[in-house]
Amino acid sequence: MTVPAQIDRTGPLDRARALAAFKLGDRTFYWLTRISALAVLCILGGIILSLIVGAWPAIQQFGFDFLVTRRWAPQLSPSPVLGALGPIYGTIVTSLLAMLIAVPVGMGIAIFLTEFCPPAIRRPVGVAIELLAGIPSIIYGMWGFFVLAPFMTDHFMPAVIATFQHVPLLNVIFAGPPSYLSLFNASLVLAIMILPFITAISRDVFQTVPPMLKESAYGLGCTTWEVVKNVVIPFTRAGVIGGIMLALGRALGETMAVTFIIGNSFQITGSIFSPGTTISAAIASEFAEASGVHMSALILLGLLLFVLTFIVLAAARLMLARLQDKQGK
């Protein structure tokens, strides 16, 4: 803002001063932007550094055993036994179960929206899905706690338990008694939460298919499903997998949707109808009353979660970048 004023004041002949002012302004702005860009890298460095510092006492005390210990006994004195196997197990089980439900349904909706849907309702449904993707996760969590968990536990679980009572293996996975606080209920809420997200991404990815390709296939006499199977999905494979992994990254780190209904139990029972915990739920529920090495172990859990999601998200981004290269962007 000040630069033009300066030109007026000094007159058109004073080129040198005006140019110097421009140069200073240019250089300042350049460095401001560059420093801000570096700040983004610093945030990542800061996250890793602060988590390692916070987790250091626990790393020193438990070392590698932390990853393979099932027991979680912070109240033991003088030295508590803390192991991450329970939360890691819970995180992986709930995320995979949620993906198992949400991916087929979400992709189905995306295919419906891009290929089968009458144009009149395509936009409203698409917008509704995108708006739902923005609803904060705590809303899903409390709905699961008050509405979904009681319903599933009273009506769905007993039937499943009775059905698979005598089938080997399945009677372990679906073992009773039904519990309001369970891995299954948490997974279901998680699935409903990531559903709009998966739908929105898959739809965006499907829309990158050039219409010419699809029309050629239709011209050869393909049915809509054959076009989807043979043209749309192969063309967008990298993007779809990238999108799914992005959703997986979300599910792994989600806190508020699962904390209320997972039960915060560190036991590994093998049954998805029993209470469990995830890394993020364990941190959220125990952080307030933790101190000393217990606190440090929770931060170490956070570090594990960050490393886990970092790997998944990095893979997802590489996949999505490959799709973009294909488009020649």
Measured from the CB of residue 219, what is the shortest distance to another protein in angstroms? 16
Residue 270 Cβ, how far from another protein at the closest point, in Å? Answer: 26
Residue 299 CB neighbour total at 10 angstroms:
22
Least distance (Å) between residue 240 CB and another protein: 15
**Cβ neighbours of residue 16 under 8 Å, at least 6 residues apart?**
none
- Nearest distance, CB of residue 48 and another protein, angstroms: 9
CA 216, 220, 226, 231 dihedral sign is: negative
The residue among 160 and 316 lying less far from another protein, judged by its C-beta, is: 316
Residue type, 256: M
Q: Considering beta carbons, is residue 246 or 271 the nearer one to another protein?
A: 246
- The nearer residue to another protein, 38 or 162, going by C-beta atoms, is 38
**How far is it, in rounded angstroms, from Cα 226 to Cα 219?**
12
Q: How far is the CB of 161 from another protein (least distance, A)?
A: 23
In this complex, which beta carbon is closest to another protein, that of residue 157 or of residue 192? 192
Residues in contact with 89: Cβ distance below 8 Å, sequence separation at least 6, in sequence order: 268, 276
> In the complex with another protein, which residue's Cβ is closer, 168 or 219?
219
Tokens of 268: 């590994």
Q: How many CB atoms lie within 10 A of CB 137?
A: 18
Distance of CA 70 to the CA centre of its chain: 25
